[in-house]
Amino acid sequence: MSLRGKAFIMKGYKLLYFLIILVTYSVFMILGHSKLQLEILGQDILVYSVFLITLTRVYGNLDFGNIKTRMLVKTTSLGVVFSDILGFVFLGIIACLNAPGVFQVQSLFFLVIVIIFHIVITRVLIMIGDRIFLRLYAPINTLIIVDNESVNEDKIMKCIRGNTKRYNLLDIFLMKDDQLPQILLEADFCVINVSDHSLRSKIVSRCFDLEIKYTIVPNLEDILLQNVKPSVIDDVTIFESKEIMTSSQRTLKRLCDVVISFCFLIITLPIMLIISIAIKLDDGGSVFFRQKRMTKDREVFDVIKFRSMKENVANYSSVANDDRITKVGNFLRKTRLDELPQFINVLIGDMSIVGPRPEMIENVEKYEMDFPEFSYRLKVKAGITGIAQIEGKYNSSPKDKLFMDLVYIQNYSFFNDIRLMLLTLTVIAKEDSTEGFNNHE
């Protein structure tokens, strides 16, 4: 079967998934609100379909083969549940406006039923979809090319070797001169982890010539070149650097921070009160933890968190199996609930909701000694969430953090901020998202 035919089957299966979810939602809403006009129900179903498509794209986009099945089930289920809730809320609003008294508390029963059904059917359909994908697509013949200065080589090999259903590793070729490996002709996919510009250009050109898909492990210059404006001057193509964030973007970002943080603090106030009581009952110590952190333009502020460690202990970054963490604190860290008070920092202007993680002053100074470019993260306000917090780990290296944060900074957009806010909940599903540093790091 041709690649186009295989892609058509997978797109058809994704469409089938959407139809099943949409039809079941429609049936449950019609059964639960039979007294409502069909016009009102039709409006809700239309809006629900928009929520479903948008949130599914945000939460994994049913990317079979590229996202592990377990994670895809979690993220897709999250998107469907959000869609169910938003669709239900919208139905409640238009029902109250057009048919007061018809929409009652009993309607929540049908919402709970549809959510449970959607979680179960999503799991089943994703597992079936994953099997269909693996039957259609054989493992990709993959070649990894490295040089003596390659970084993160172990992580890349772990990723490729850990997904044998998707990748067939042909070889790991060490590039010592400009001679390309003969095995490249057998590859369908090439991972280029080469620092030398001339060697990398030669590999890319050859892959392009052979129509081999490739991915590049970027260096700092590659990331900085993302935020450029291409133009032509007298037949010469040039790249012109652009402003990181325009004044209108900064204004919109700040307005969004104020509105969302204020609403979020009001909504989560009962949860924060329960957490405060739990911390007090645990060891009788203070509820909040304050620490000096660095943000935009090297300004220092006091970050506010729920205390998750014992009081009067040494102050350094957490390590694996850290005995300073309290029982309540362990739960708060795993669920990220210890970071709720940071919305106070956002409201008063110390932080933004989305941005690089605020580091301790000592860590910034230490990282900059080893890697001076780490200061580039300080071009924007620190944030509660961001690419590094979502895609990385708590113990990601300073360089990895910098690269992920620079990808965010160089590709800033308001809609990307919204997307990252929605993706933040997936961090809880990642088992390694709150790991501490290894003791030897």
Element containing residue 223 per DSSP (H, E): helix 220-224
pLDDT at 441 exceeding the cut of 70: no
- Residue 247 CA from chain centroid, whole number: 26
pLDDT at 305 exceeding the cut of 80: yes
User: pLDDT digit string (tens) for 94-110?
Assistant: 888 876 766 666 678 88
Q: Where are the domains of the chain?
A: 3-136, 140-217, 247-429
pLDDT score of 437: 38
Phi, psi of 319, deg, nearest 5: -120, 170
d(CA 84, CA 79) in angstroms, rounded, equals 9
pLDDT at 307 exceeding the cut of 80: yes
Are the beta carbons of 181 and 145 closer than 8 angstroms? yes
pLDDT score of 394: 64
**What's the number of CA atoms in the CB half-sphere (13 Å) around residue 273?**
5
Q: Report the sign of the C-alpha dihedral through residues 112, 113, 116, 117, in that order.
A: negative
Element containing residue 291 per DSSP (H, E): strand 288-294
d(CA 203, CA 13) in angstroms, rounded, equals 36
Query: Quick one: tokens of 18?
Result: 């959407």
Arithmetic mean of pLDDT, 19-44: 87
For 70-109, give the DSSP string: HHHHHHHHHHHHHHHHHHHHHHHHHHHHHSTTTS-TTHHH
Burial grade of 246 (CB within 10 A; 0-12, 13-18, 19 or more): exposed
User: pLDDT digit string (tens) for 146-166?
Assistant: 987 777 778 888 888 888 888
Are the beta carbons of 154 and 183 closer than 8 angstroms? no
d(CA 32, CA 107) in angstroms, rounded, equals 6
Instruction: Look up tokens 């892959």; give the residue.
Output: 207
Arithmetic mean of pLDDT, 42-49: 93
d(CA 387, CA 375) in angstroms, rounded, equals 17
Q: Which CATH superfamily is domain 140-217 in?
A: Response regulator (3.40.50.2300)
d(CA 404, CA 356) in angstroms, rounded, equals 9
- 36 three-class SS: coil
The least confident of 29-33, 67-71, 289-293, 363-367 is 29-33
Q: Within 10 Å of residue 290's Cβ, how many Cβ atoms?
A: 13
Are the beta carbons of 357 and 409 closer than 8 angstroms? no
Arithmetic mean of pLDDT, 85-97: 88
Strands in 213-216's sheet, in edge-to-edge order, are 167-174, 140-146, 189-193, 213-216
Q: What is the DSSP letter of 337?
A: G
Q: Tell me the pLDDT of the chain averaged across its residues.
A: 87
Query: Quick one: tokens of 219?
Result: 């260096």
Arithmetic mean of pLDDT, 330-355: 93
- Partner residues linked to 385 by β-bridges: 354
Arithmetic mean of pLDDT, 239-251: 89
Are the beta carbons of 143 and 71 closer than 8 angstroms? no
- 68 three-class SS: coil
pLDDT at 243 exceeding the cut of 60: yes
User: pLDDT digit string (tens) for 362-417?
Assistant: 989 888 888 888 888 999 999 999 998 888 876 677 888 889 999 999 999 999 99
Element containing residue 426 per DSSP (H, E): helix 426-429
Arithmetic mean of pLDDT, 236-252: 90
